[in-house]
A and B are shown apart, each in its own frame.
Chain A
């Protein structure tokens, strides 16, 4: 009995080998076309989108309800930002936030002593809200409320003399702030080829 099974196995193996060897017997054809949808993943709920969608665009889309004043921002800054960014945004273990000096003709390419700050380089005030809300304070990221963030943004903009000391930042006012470096940025014109740009 055992002998018979063994013989049958050998025969089976041999015939499988023969089929594998003769590629002509297999049906050749194109791979199936990609379907319009693979039907993978699931539809996201409005709530889960809302939880993650914290970004803010230059025109103000994404800014939440809330408001903050320069004076409120000064108090929050002293408690949560000053230890790294300095008493008045002059920098410390973290980068400098305040300064309007950009030399003659926005001289950052030529003068290595210039320091890029919110006041002399950042083109959009909304970026300050977005970044502060998502990533600051460094040792407790993502813990600021919208009101606190509006207040800090107001304070840092005021330190840079971009908004007055009585400014209030909210959904409506923040996108209207025009930053000093707003018109300095140009698209990339490098495209390869012989010219070094």
Chain B
């Protein structure tokens, strides 16, 4: 039996000369965890490594994953705690869809623009790619992001940044400005709103204010240097910088220009914000400034007193992040974090703060301010403005509690 294991291990190491191999049977004296680790040559300088491949993959030691919400799997969350910098790898960009992910042949694809225009036009994907293009690095956040932090469901402490706020991602988006297409079709001066419609099973629709359409709306076909991912709207989506993600209609097939909003199901019965005064906000599109510490955070454990770096992301749907303040004493004192370049409007901004942990319990907080002068509020302030049962736009300050043994737990709002 031992002999067979030895042979198996030798075979594995031999195979290792052609690359990294999968986990083998446990060897005597090895823990299950050790056995589950990918096998690599003991000394990579003594063997030739694998050769070039058509499509690269991650190191088998790195396995960041989205987490799907609920049994129906209509959304998944970005693993914020596993990412550095500001770009979200395309295969980890959060998802939200209402009729699954449609399969669309780009050769069959077309986009119709009609309504209050001089010339209703149909564009193929090749037409869209021929227009002068534009790339922009921008974040997208679902306006339902962070509900868990707002409602403090069961006062959960063992939740990751991904579980708390994973419905936000940043990509470089490439496409043609919607304004260019509106001019090409000759949109009427009477135009006030437009309808964007998808070609998924929900035939998803949202009304978009014409000012946004002419400002920075993009008809996007590229994401992080390649074609859009299917779950991000392949082959073409609307992308509205700074606006709640639901309005950036994916698998875009039609734009109708009109004089008033269409009052679709999403923008009336869903993405509206009841207020304590008995009214409900409608077309509350812009995402307020927000920040989240992504390290250290649950399930991290500080392995000893001394220097650690507090890292996280801040963003605003209205412009650039002006500053991020950090508290390492539960909000008694605040100091500015360093912002990594580039600091872009309507985009994730990476912040860093040196933290000397002296041991003992404390709470880490981050607080973003954008260039309109808006500062991320405390949970109490947001609760007073919106009420405990509101369903979207949860941007209050979040906290992570460091326990005396170094374990880090989610501490909800502060």
Interface residues in chain A, defined as those with a beta carbon under 8 Å from any beta carbon in chain B: 34, 36-38, 40-44, 48-49, 52-59, 105-112, 114, 116, 118, 121-124, 126-127, 130-131, 134-135, 141-142, 181, 184-194, 196-197
Contact = CB atoms under 8 A, between A and B. Distances in A.
Contact of B122 (A41, A53, A108): A41
Contacts of A112: 151, 388-389
A44 B127 contact: no
Contact of A110 (B114, B123, B127, B387): B387
B400 to A, nearest CB: 23
Contacts of B226: none
Contacts of B299: none
A7 B388 CA distance: 82
B77 to A, nearest CB: 22
Contacts of B119: 43
Nearest to A196: B377
A194 B374 contact: yes
A130 B264 contact: yes
Contact of B373 (A49, A105, A192): A192
A173 B2 CA distance: 83
Given A53-B114, A185-B282, A194-B375, A40 B387 contact: no
Nearest to B384: A196
Interface string B230-265: 000000000000000000000001101010101111
B286 interface: yes
Interface in B269-300: 269, 272-286, 288
Interface centre among A42, A109, A110, A122 (most CB of B within 10 A): A109
Contacts of B278: 105-107, 184
A134 B203 contact: yes
B331 interface: no
Which of B123, B127, B132, B262 is packed against the most chain A CB atoms within 10 Å? B262
B114 A192 contact: no
A188 B279 contact: no
B263 A123 contact: yes
B112 A52 contact: yes
B406 interface: no
A39 to B, nearest CB: 9
A4 to B, nearest CB: 39
B203 A192 contact: no
A34 B388 CA distance: 51
A41 B389 contact: no
Given A40-B184, A55-B195, A141-B202, A110 B269 contact: no
A178 B113 CA distance: 31
7 cross-chain pairs, A with B, having the tightest CB-CB distances, nearest first:
A109-B387, A192-B372, A108-B274, A105-B278, A131-B265, A109-B274, A44-B120
Contacts of A116: 269
